Every structure is written in C-alpha cells, then in structure tokens.
C-alpha cells in the first residue's frame, strides 16, 4: 500500500513510519511527502530516505480548486492509496478528502477529543494538559474530516503524566509513542481491518 505524507515541520513521524516501511514491517511503502513550509526539516529526512518530496503552498495558487488539483495530481502520480498527515498544520481541501474517503489519517499528541482543535498543536497541547493537571495524556490516530483534530478514532495510546513534567519532557515521551502508533495504524489499513460505521471505527480481528 503506497503512503502519501503531508507535513509542515520536522517530519519525525514521517521518518518513523517510512523506516518501518523500508524494513518491510508494514506491508506499505512511503511514496511521497508534500510539505507547505520551504525550510521544513521533513525535506532533509525525505532526501535521506530517498522519498520524493514536494513543496506545495496554498498561497502559490489563486484559487482553492487549483491547489487541490495540484495536490491530487501529485498523489495520483505516486499511486498514493493512504494519506498520513504528519504534523501538517493546515486542513486539507475538501476535494482531497472526498477523493480519499476514510483514507486520510492524522496523528495528534493528546487523547482526543480533549486538547485538540485549531491552535492546539505542538508545545501548546502539552502545556494545556499540564495546566489542567491531567494524570494521563497520550496519542490519537484518527481519520481526518473537515474540522481540526476531528474524525473517527482509529488508535489511541495513553502516556502517564509524571510529577515534575515540563511541556518538553512530556512532549518527548508522547512523541516516542507517536512513532510507534502511527505505523501500527497503517498496518491495520494494510490488513484491511478498519471499518467505519456511524462515524465510529471498528477494528476487525
Ligand atoms: C506531532 O506531535 C504530531 O502529533 C503533530 O505534530 C507533530 C509533528 O511532529 N500533529 P513531526 O513533524 O512528525 O516531528
């Protein structure tokens, strides 16, 4: 199964999944990365792993439909079957979501539906978790829809909040789990074990 990644930043989730692909563990291949930030770290990682990477910015297109068409063109050229948003800080165009129904995943560094939504990304998520005094946080992989950090949940894993945690220490432990769980979610799709009914995911045995 060919994977397409959307990223805006460092791309460590892209790298973690791509490495598991290249080891043959997932039955999937990292086909392409699309990024909207010129100097994002993900470009370097893609180069190192030999994965094609494209810079595509919404602002380079006068019209939304032309932007969506370019994204779809790249995905189709690379035969992408499953899309992974990996730290992509924009919503994907509706036309793209419609072209890949229940085939667009997002990863979020908290247990949704808590601590998600517009503006809650990166350090701010962990700050909010600590501010609320939570004892547990975690990672969510979900199918993306037209709202930020929203859509049927595929996998979640909990991470304990420790006494004395800072946003940075918590982020680091959460990120380790992200790197595991995203590939695990991909494997469920490769095995054709994911069904969506009434907005909820069922994982077949
Ligand atoms: C991760 O924490 C991910 O959950 C969130 O954005 C961050 C991206 O990190 N959506 P990276 O670019 O994959 O290193």
107 lines ligand 1 (CB under 6 A): yes
Q: Does 151 contact ligand 1 (Cβ within 6 A)?
A: no
Q: What is the tens place of the pLDDT at every residue in 192-202? A: 999 999 999 99
Closest protein CA for atom 2 of ligand 1: 109
Predicted confidence at residue 169, as pLDDT, reads 98
Q: According to the 3-state scheme, what is the secondary structure of the chain?
A: CEEEEEECCCCHHHHHHHHHHHCCCCCCEEEEEEECCCCCCHHHHHHHHCCEEEECCHHHCCCHHHHHHHHHHHHHHCCCCEEEECCCCCCCCHHHHHHCCCCEEEEECCCCCCCCCCCCCCHHHHHHHHHCCCCEEEEEEEECCCCCCCCCEEEEEEEECCCCCCHHHHHHHHHHHHHHHHHHHHHHHHCCCEEEECCEEEECC
- Per residue in 129-176, pLDDT tens? 999 999 999 999 999 999 999 999 999 999 999 999 999 999 999 999
Query: Residues 66-82: what's their mean pLDDT?
Result: 98
Ligand 1 atom at shortest distance from the alpha carbon of 8? 12
**Per-residue model confidence (pLDDT) at position 9:** 97
Which pLDDT does position 86 carry in this prediction?
97
* pLDDT tens-place string over residues 77-90: 999 999 999 999 99
Q: How far is the CA of 121 from the centre of ligand 1 (A)?
A: 8
Round to whole Å and give the CA distance between 202 and 204: 6
Cite the active site residues: 108
pLDDT value at position 38?
97
Instruction: Tell me the sheet residues that pair with 104.
Output: 83
65 Cα–ligand 1 center, Å: 27
Task: Give the Cα separation of 187 and 7 in Å (integer).
Answer: 20
Model pLDDT, residue 10: 97
Length of the chain: 205
Q: Which of the four pLDDT bands, split at 50, 70 and 90, describes residue 125?
A: very high
> What is the pTM (predicted TM-score) of this model?
0.96
- CA 204 to centroid of chain Cα atoms: 22
């Amino acid at each position: 199964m060919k994977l397409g990644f959307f990223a805006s930043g460092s791309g460590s989730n892209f790298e973690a999944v791509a490495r598991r692909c290249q080891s043959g563990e997932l039955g999937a291949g990292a086909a392409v990365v699309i990024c909207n930030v010129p100097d994002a770290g993900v470009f370097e990682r893609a180069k190192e792993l030999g994965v094609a990477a494209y810079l595509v910015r919404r602002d380079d297109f006068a019209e939304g439909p032309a932007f969506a068409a370019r994204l779809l063109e790249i995905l189709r050229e690379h035969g992408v079957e499953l899309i992974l948003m990996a730290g992509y800080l924009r919503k994907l165009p509706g036309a793209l979501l419609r072209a890949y129904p229940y085939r667009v995943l997002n990863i979020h560094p908290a247990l949704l539906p808590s601590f998600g939504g517009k503006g809650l990304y990166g350090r701010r998520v962990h700050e909010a978790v600590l501010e609320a005094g939570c004892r547990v946080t975690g990672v969510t992989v979900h199918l993306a829809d037209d709202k930020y950090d929203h859509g049927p949940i595929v996998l979640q894993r909990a991470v304990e909040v420790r006494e004395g945690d800072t946003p940075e220490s918590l982020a680091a432990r959460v990120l380790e789990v992200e790197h595991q769980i995203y590939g695990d979610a991909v494997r469920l799709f490769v095995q054709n074990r994911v069904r969506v009914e009434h907005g909820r995911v069922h994982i077949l045995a």
